[in-house]
């Protein structure tokens, strides 16, 4: 059972005794406070209070069209600069970079880092005054897509350096800190790392064991261990720890006295990524290396990861495009039974599925980056859902491409064999998918709980009071069934899809409310319910992204020119509608009772005991 301390609810733990940390679901009268425990995986509390969330509105049965319509197509200088850099990246990655050599050497190569820095590809979102390109979040993620096309390992190295390694400094650094480190990071003269995970701390990042003690001169003494740190033996380490003043974030420079790294981990995939152990033995960190204020560390870490998940979505989309291209090339040239493989329906089905899913993941990813660039919305849940859907779908796409290539892909030197080793990590890191599903569902349920009356105030012994409390909500639910909220601004030719989204949104509200009223505070233990609600919400959001995108394309290019893309968008929406329908049905008809029974029996027996 995943449990996160109630102290995390306001984005700060300053001044709190870590030994007094409660189980977040126990010993408090208002369970709604408990659901807030996962909220810090997104924006700061003050930011959430000021900015609306599209997905939270879905849990209320509402479609906040103004947040997602029209689709945020890139335009102007940002698009021109993005296209230029994407061209430079693709040219270099297809003519110079060798992923096979990188895997054999177990490092992407310092020459590659130097070259990418000279091309301007290592400081994509960094302000131009610090030597970066100043791209929007959408522009940055578009370039990350090119890395994903070329090599999963290189995309991870680039993501670690930029998405999470440099990002905390970019978001929370002072002008002096930025001037000190960003130019070298943007130029590739130095590489950055994000130093969070510990031997005993993974998904429960609140409970860090690395400890920082503030000294009388304002400096800090850092002790502890970290593991699975990409670029951990390099130059600029963003390190997270706990202290008497709360969680803290530091910039620690490579080579600092008392800092030890290695030996590196020997991994199944991403073998060209230097994944390190790190030990801090009384490492002195100057006062000027503190990011933010004491107590800000956990918020900085979670908000950084929240930003980083978006580039994972586009990197995976890039990888899927490569899988599709390779599959078309192979099945168009390989002949069996006197026909090209691509002529067979079951082959064509896999090709069409990949094409459709790429469109959906791409639409979802860039709608989410558009929320960031717009600056008007809390994008925490959308970022989490994009990461989950992209990493799960990318893995399934790779499996289909692998199947289409047959035995040839099983040879270790084949590109899909390398991709198979690399891609398996994506559903695990930067927020394990199960944790992200719980995060999405519990935040949505919390938003709904704040919209409903306290069910404990309804007394069976006072039916008049019960009727008075429930009547407005009964009327509201009836009204939702008659007039479900619709996505405004979609093209008229997509009316069926818009209606589908409206009905699903109303059902999400109804299902979440049913779970809330049925289980009350125990809803936090119903992870299968959480999973189904999260999958439904992600499916609805992905359809909204596809409808929003194709509507913008039709407006730009006209109906006739856009027809092939419209067919693709409709196919994606239909496929996701089926996913959402299955999630809702499984909330009502399932084998959860048997699942729990069998799981407990297997746990008790320690394995399978039904011998013939």
Q: What is the pTM of this model?
A: 0.89
370, 427, 372: which is closest to 394 by C-alpha? 427
Rg of the chain (C-alpha set): 25
Q: Residue 277 falls within a domain, yes or no?
A: yes
Residue 547: φ, ψ to 5°: -65, -45
Residue 69: φ, ψ to 5°: -125, 135
Read off the tokens for 526.
């119903």
| Alpha-carbon gap, residue 194 to 383, rounded angstroms | 19
Other Cβ atoms within 10 Å of 383 Cβ, number: 29
The answer on 571 and 466 residing in a single domain is: yes
Query: Last residue of a domain, which of 253, 283, 298?
Result: 298
Looking up residue 40, the CATH number of its domain turns out to be 1.20.140.10
Read off the tokens for 188.
């590739």
Looking up residue 96, the CATH number of its domain turns out to be 1.10.540.10
User: Directed axis angle between helix 345-374 and helix 559-588, to 10°?
Assistant: 90
* DSSP 8-state symbol, 242: B
The answer on 86 and 50 residing in a single domain is: no
Read off the tokens for 479.
């009204």
- Bond into 504 cis (ω within 30): no
The answer on 82 and 61 residing in a single domain is: no
pLDDT at 479 (0 to 100): 63
| Alpha-carbon gap, residue 215 to 131, rounded angstroms | 34
| pLDDT tens by residue, 350-407 | 999 999 999 999 999 999 999 999 998 999 999 999 999 999 999 999 999 999 999 9
CB 249 within 8 A of CB 239: yes
Whose structure tokens read 């008075």?
Answer: 468
The answer on 526 and 475 residing in a single domain is: yes
The answer on 580 and 440 residing in a single domain is: yes
Q: Residue 463 falls within a domain, yes or no?
A: yes
**Which runs of E-coded beta strand occur in 491-549?**
none
Q: Residue 520 falls within a domain, yes or no?
A: yes
Other Cβ atoms within 10 Å of 245 Cβ, number: 17
CB 139 within 8 A of CB 78: yes
Whose structure tokens read 């010993």?
Answer: 27
| Alpha-carbon gap, residue 585 to 587, rounded angstroms | 5
CB 358 within 8 A of CB 396: no
| Alpha-carbon gap, residue 585 to 583, rounded angstroms | 6
| Alpha-carbon gap, residue 265 to 277, rounded angstroms | 7
Query: Last residue of a domain, which of 298, 317, 340?
Result: 298
The answer on 291 and 278 residing in a single domain is: yes
Looking up residue 232, the CATH number of its domain turns out to be 2.40.110.10
What is the count of structural domains for the chain? Answer: 3
The answer on 149 and 242 residing in a single domain is: no
The answer on 198 and 142 residing in a single domain is: no
C-alpha torsion angle, residues 37, 41, 42, 45 (rounded to 10): 40
| Helix, strand or coil, per DSSP, at residue 339 | strand
Helical H segments across 10-161, by residue range = 31-35, 45-50, 54-59, 65-68, 76-95, 99-105, 110-118, 137-150, 152-158
The answer on 14 and 104 residing in a single domain is: no
Residue 67: φ, ψ to 5°: -85, -20
Q: Residue 340 falls within a domain, yes or no?
A: no
Other Cβ atoms within 10 Å of 244 Cβ, number: 14
| Alpha-carbon gap, residue 404 to 423, rounded angstroms | 18
Helix, strand, coil % over all residues of the chain, rounded to 5: 65, 10, 30
Q: What residue numbers bound the domain in which 197 lies?
A: 193-298
Query: Last residue of a domain, which of 264, 298, 332?
Result: 298
| Centroid of chain to Cα 601 | 34
From 7, 145, 430, 513, active-site residue? 430
The answer on 593 and 454 residing in a single domain is: yes
Q: Residue 312 falls within a domain, yes or no?
A: no
C-alpha torsion angle, residues 603, 604, 608, 611 (rounded to 10): -170
Q: Residue 358 falls within a domain, yes or no?
A: no
pLDDT at 321 (0 to 100): 98
Question: Which of left, alpha, beta for 38 (phi over 0: left; psi -120 to 50: alpha)?
Answer: alpha
The answer on 111 and 80 residing in a single domain is: yes
| Alpha-carbon gap, residue 297 to 565, rounded angstroms | 44
Pairing of strands 339-340, 192-195: unpaired
Q: Residue 473 falls within a domain, yes or no?
A: yes
126, 119, 121: which is closest to 147 by C-alpha? 121
Low-confidence stretches of the chain (pLDDT < 70) are 1-49, 454-482
The answer on 475 and 500 residing in a single domain is: yes
| Alpha-carbon gap, residue 530 to 68, rounded angstroms | 25
* DSSP 8-state symbol, 159: I
- Decide if 488 is catalytic: no
């Amino acid at each position: 059972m995943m449990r996160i301390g109630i102290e995390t609810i306001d984005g700060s733990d300053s001044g709190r005794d870590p030994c007094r940390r409660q189980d977040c679901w126990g010993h408090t009268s208002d369970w709604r406070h408990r659901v807030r425990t996962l909220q810090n995986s997104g924006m700061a509390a003050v930011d959430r209070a000021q900015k609306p969330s599209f997905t939270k509105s879905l849990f209320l049965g509402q479609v906040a069209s103004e947040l997602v319509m029209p689709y945020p197509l890139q335009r102007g200088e940002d698009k021109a600069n993005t296209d230029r850099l994407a061209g430079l990246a693709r040219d270099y990655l297809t003519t110079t970079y060798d992923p096979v050599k990188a895997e054999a050497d177990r490092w992407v190569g310092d020459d590659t880092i130097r070259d990418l820095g000279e091309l301007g590809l290592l400081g994509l979102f960094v302000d131009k005054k610090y030597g970066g390109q100043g791209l929007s979040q959408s522009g940055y993620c578009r370039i990350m897509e090119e890395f994903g096309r070329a090599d999963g390992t290189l995309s991870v190295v680039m993501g670690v350096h930029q998405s999470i390694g440099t990002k905390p400094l970019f978001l929370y650094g002072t002008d002096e800190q930025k001037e000190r480190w960003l130019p070298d990071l943007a130029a590739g003269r130095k590489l950055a790392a994000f130093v969070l995970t510990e031997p005993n701390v993974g998904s429960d990042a609140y409970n860090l064991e690395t400890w920082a003690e503030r000294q009388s001169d304002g400096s800090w003494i850092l002790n502890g261990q970290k593991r699975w740190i990409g670029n951990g033996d390099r130059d600029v380490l963003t390190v997270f720890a706990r202290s008497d003043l709360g969680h803290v974030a530091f910039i620690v420079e490579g080579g600092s006295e008392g800092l030890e790294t290695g030996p590196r981990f020997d991994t199944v995939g991403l073998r060209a990524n230097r994944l390190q152990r790190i030990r801090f033995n009384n490492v002195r960190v100057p006062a000027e290396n503190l990011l933010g204020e004491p107590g800000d560390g956990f918020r900085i870490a979670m908000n950084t990861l929240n930003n980083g998940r978006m580039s994972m979505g586009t990197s995976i989309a890039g990888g899927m495009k490569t899988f599709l291209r390779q599959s078309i090339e192979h099945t168009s040239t390989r002949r069996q039974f006197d026909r090209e493989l691509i002529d067979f329906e079951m082959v064509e089905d896999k090709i069409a599925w990949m094409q459709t899913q790429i469109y959906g993941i791409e639409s979802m990813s860039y709608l989410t980056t558009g929320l960031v660039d717009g600056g008007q919305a809390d994008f925490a849940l959308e970022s989490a859902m994009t990461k989950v859907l992209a990493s799960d779908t990318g893995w399934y796409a790779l499996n289909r491409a692998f199947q289409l290539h047959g035995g040839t892909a099983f040879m270790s030197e084949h590109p899909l064999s390398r991709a198979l080793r690399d891609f398996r990590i994506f559903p695990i890191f930067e927020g394990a998918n199960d944790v992200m599903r719980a995060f999405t569902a519990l935040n949505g349920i919390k938003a709904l709980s704040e919209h409903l009356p306290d069910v404990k105030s309804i007394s069976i012994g006072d039916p008049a009071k019960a009727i008075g409390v429930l009547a407005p909500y009964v009327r509201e639910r009836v009204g939702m069934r008659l007039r479900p909220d619709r996505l405004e601004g979609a093209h008229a030719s997509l009316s069926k899809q818009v209606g589908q989204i409206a009905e699903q949104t109303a059902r999400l509200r109804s299902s979440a409310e049913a779970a809330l009223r049925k289980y009350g505070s125990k809803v936090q233990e119903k992870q299968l319910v959480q999973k189904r609600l999260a999958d439904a919400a992600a499916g609805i959001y992905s359809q909204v992204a596809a409808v929003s995108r194709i509507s913008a394309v039709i407006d730009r290019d006209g109906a006739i020119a856009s027809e092939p893309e419209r067919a693709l968008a409709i196919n994606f929406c239909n496929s996701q509608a089926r996913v959402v329908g299955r999630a809702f049905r499984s909330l009502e008809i399932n084998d959860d009772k048997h699942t729990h029974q069998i799981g407990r029996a297997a746990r008790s027996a320690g394995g399978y005991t039904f011998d013939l």
